[in-house]
Chains A and B, each alone.
Chain A
Amino acid sequence: DSGVTQTPKHLITATGQRVTLRCSPRSGDLSVYWYQQSLDQGLQFLIHYYNGEERAKGNILERFSAQQFPDLHSELNLSSLELGDSALYFCASSPRGGRDYGYTFGSGTRLTVV
């Protein structure tokens, strides 16, 4: 157990629907990062939140949004889902500055869009 909790573990939904993925970071970590892993694109950075504020964005689609709450958990919202959104979605967390302390990943949410 890495200490980063992601729910749900599996999600199957239809095209056009909206889903919310949840992440609880390790105790004491202020940063949360979201990544998408697919067979064709590999592991791609989506977005980074630090203590409730957005810090960096990667190749995140406009249909996707995220937020980090005062208790530091984070949610990734995916809307108007398409078949191509099927992937493993990972959350990672780190203390203040991840690059000096490392990044701890959760076990992921497998999203299947049918």
Chain B
Amino acid sequence: SQELEQSPQSLIVQEGKNLTINCTSSKTLYGLYWYKQKYGEGLIFLMMLQKGGEEKSHEKITAKLDEKKQQSSLHITASQPSHAGIYLCGADSATDSWGKLQFGAGTQVVVTP
């Protein structure tokens, strides 16, 4: 089955600083999805990437999918307290049945004053 490696596991960033989270797949991806979760709560959809080289931005969050479609990065510019939470990458494999999202273990982000 597909495995997704997320790094780092956790990070502490000072408010106003940038941060980057990486997600690497062991298989070729069909689609890569980024979600944010507050502890014990639901998953909030951030972005979906499908094409190699694709880059999407929303407010201060940018996500990229590399050309070979096996790695994605999520970049937050000028972090704010509202960016704190757990970021999860999920992926559809190009060969598995659709809907069987595999998820990384998550990256916990803490934003300090």
Contacts and interface: CB of A to CB of B under 8 A. Distances in A.
B88 interface: yes
Contacts of A98: 92, 98-99
B87 interface: no
Contact of A97 (B33, B98, B102, B105): B98
A44 B33 CA distance: 15
B95 to A, nearest CB: 12
A55 B97 contact: yes
A27 B39 CA distance: 27
B103 A33 contact: no
A88 B42 CA distance: 9
Interface in B64-113: 88, 90, 92, 97-106
Given A90-B42, A110-B40, A45 B48 contact: no
A103 B33 contact: yes
B85 to A, nearest CB: 14
Contacts of A106: 42
Interface residues of A, number: 29
A111 B26 CA distance: 32
Q: Give the dominant DSSP class at A's interface.
A: strand
Contact of B100 (A45, A50, A108): A45
B19 to A, nearest CB: 21
A43 B88 contact: yes
Contact of A103 (B45, B50, B97, B106): B45
A105 B35 contact: yes
Contact of A43 (B30, B44, B103): B103
Interface in A30-77: 31, 33, 35, 42-45, 48, 50, 55-56, 58
A108 B30 CA distance: 26
Interface of B: 30-31, 33, 35, 40-45, 48, 50, 88, 90, 92, 97-106
Interface of A: 2, 31, 33, 35, 42-45, 48, 50, 55-56, 58, 88, 90, 92, 94, 97-100, 102-108, 110
6 contacts: A92-B43, A99-B92, A103-B90, A104-B45, A105-B44, A108-B41
